[in-house]
């Protein structure tokens, strides 16, 4: 989303190489990796944190190559995931932090007023996508008043 709100051309980065199976040095025990994922999710970790922990501590470079499913779908099948998708929840936490900043005596901070508008528009666009995918109810609306209740 770099081009929509900035005058830059976005970030260039490397693309993940196409790999169809896990490397031979990695942990490929499906039951062990699945139990690790469920255990870490019950401990309160997000899907991205689970992926990082698996990569760094348990020698699983890509959980999808081992298990055959994404971490989020595995958690959804076991009814462990949160009520909102992780990226949307991160944006909502960011909006709450900016609202707290503006409310604590910084009401003239024009840069953060603008960043709050941008963050809220990103939340609205993501909500439209998740409504079309069926991950959010079709009558869900973003309301700044109820944002703290949604995040906590």
CATH code (residue 134):
1.10.287.10
- Measured between alpha carbons, how far is 65 from 40 in angstroms, rounded to an integer? 19
- Measured between alpha carbons, how far is 22 from 75 in angstroms, rounded to an integer? 21
Alpha carbon separation from 92 to 31, 116, 147 (Å, rounded)? 34, 10, 7
Contact at 8 Å (CB) between 71 and 101?
A: no
Q: Position of tokens 């936490």?
A: 93
In a domain? residue 7: no
In a domain? residue 128: yes
In this prediction, residue 152 carries a pLDDT of: 72
Max Cα–Cα distance, the chain, nearest Å: 57
In this prediction, residue 16 carries a pLDDT of: 81
In this prediction, residue 12 carries a pLDDT of: 73
H-type alpha helices, the chain: 2-5, 30-42, 47-57, 63-67, 71-77, 86-103, 110-133, 147-151
What DSSP string describes 33-70?
HHHHHHHHHHTT--HHHHHHHHHHHS--S-HHHHHSS-
Give the pLDDT band of residue 3 (cuts 50, 70, 90).
Answer: low
Task: Give the domain extent around 140.
Answer: 86-151
In a domain? residue 14: no
- Measured between alpha carbons, how far is 37 from 42 in angstroms, rounded to an integer? 9
Number of domains in the chain: 2
pLDDT digits (tens, 9 = 90+) for 44-100: 999 999 999 999 999 999 999 999 999 999 998 998 877 888 999 999 999 999 999
Does the pLDDT value for residue 2 go beyond 60? no
Same domain assignment for residues 108 and 52: no
In a domain? residue 17: no
Give the pLDDT band of residue 113 (cuts 50, 70, 90).
Answer: very high
């Amino acid at each position: 989303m770099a081009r929509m709100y900035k005058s830059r051309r976005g970030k260039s980065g490397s693309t993940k190489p196409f790999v169809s199976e896990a490397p031979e040095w990695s942990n490929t025990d499906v039951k062990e990796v699945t139990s690790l994922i469920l255990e870490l999710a019950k401990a309160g970790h997000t899907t991205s944190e689970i992926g990082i922990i698996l990569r760094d501590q348990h020698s699983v470079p890509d959980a999808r190559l081992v298990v055959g499913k994404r971490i989020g779908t595995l958690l959804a099948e076991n009814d462990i995931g949160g009520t909102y998708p992780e990226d949307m929840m991160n944006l909502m936490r960011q909006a709450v932090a900016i609202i707290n900043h503006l409310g604590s005596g910084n009401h003239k901070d024009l840069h953060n007023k603008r960043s709050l508008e941008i963050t809220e528009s990103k939340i609205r666009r993501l909500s439209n996508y998740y409504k079309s995918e069926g991950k959010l109810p079709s009558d869900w609306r973003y309301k700044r008043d109820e944002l703290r209740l949604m995040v906590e």
